[in-house]
Amino acid sequence: MAGMKRYAAAAAVAVALITAPTTAYGAAPQKAAPAARTATTVAGPAHVSVLAAHARAASVAKAAPTARIVAPGEHVKEPGGAEFWLTPEGKHWTSPGDTEPQFRSVVDGNIDLGTPGVTAQIEGTAGGHYTLSGLYYGGKGTASRVTVRTTAGTLHGKLLELAGHPGWGVWYVSTDVPAGADFEARSIVVRDTLGRVYSRLDLL
């Protein structure tokens, strides 16, 4: 019996030696908590600042106006008397100074829709009423607003586009100056919803 007890005791010691390292190894993964600390470090002040900047930019873009979307052939009347309509081929319009329909093509090869640009047509009457309009095209982002710098001050125009992001649109604005006064446009700048230059034309 004494021999059997010693064997049992030796077996117990062997089991203890075998199982003890297993218990310690099983506890080791609990030390892998640093992964959580790493995640906390990533969300530091610089990271939060970048996220905040993106959020502000998204908010500005969402609040910014965009071009009015019109159907092909839909006529838009400008308060000064001009009228505009768009087709897939380009810009059509009449003005108080010329009631015959006019046309500016975007498919005749004279405009590169892949390069930012602006065109301008300026028409005046003897009474000093001016209609300014043209195409804008090729810019990045979403066109939002247009400003026209003239000898009579800065004018804020409107934008028209066809649905489906054709890559071009029409801008227009009108103004009145004293009859016989000189009037010239200096620059036309179209900006996107983030305030960046979409396309521009400098005349003087």
Across 90-105, average pLDDT: 96
Query: How long is the chain?
Result: 204
Neighbouring CB atoms inside 10 A of 11's CB total 10
Give the per-residue pLDDT at 63. 79
Cα 117 to Cα 195: distance, rounded to the nearest angstrom: 17
CB burial of 72-104 (b: ≥16 within 10 Å; e: otherwise) equals: eeeebebebebbbbbbeebbbbbbbeeeeeeeb
Instruction: Give me 81's structure tokens.
Output: 């008397």
pLDDT band at 44 (very low <50, low <70, confident <90, very high): low
pLDDT at 204: 78
Neighbours of 118 (CB within 10 A): 23
Max mean pLDDT range (24-33, 61-70, 75-84): 75-84
Residues 6+ away with beta carbon under 8 Å from 5:
none
Q: What is the pLDDT of residue 84?
A: 98
Query: How many whole angstroms from its chain centre is CA 162?
Result: 17
pLDDT in tens, 112-147: 999 999 999 999 999 999 999 999 999 999 999 999
pLDDT of residue 51: 58
The yes-or-no verdict on residue 16 having pLDDT over 70 is no
Mean per-residue pLDDT, 84-106: 97
Q: What is the DSSP letter of 71?
A: -
> In this predicted structure, what is the pLDDT of residue 162?
98
- Phi, psi for residue 52 in degrees, rounded to 5: -65, -40
pLDDT for the residue numbered 186: 98
pLDDT of residue 59: 58
State the pTM of this model: 0.71
**For residues 155 and 149, what is the distance between their CA atoms, to the nearest angstrom?**
6
Q: Please report the pLDDT score of residue 149 as a whole number.
A: 98
The predicted-structure confidence for 46-69, as pLDDT tens digits, reads as follows 555 555 555 555 555 567 999 999
DSSP designation for 7 = H
Q: What is the mean pLDDT of the chain?
A: 81
Q: What is the structure's pLDDT at 61?
A: 59
* pLDDT value for 4: 39
Residue 34 has pLDDT above 60, yes or no: no
pLDDT in tens, 175-195: 999 999 999 999 999 999 999
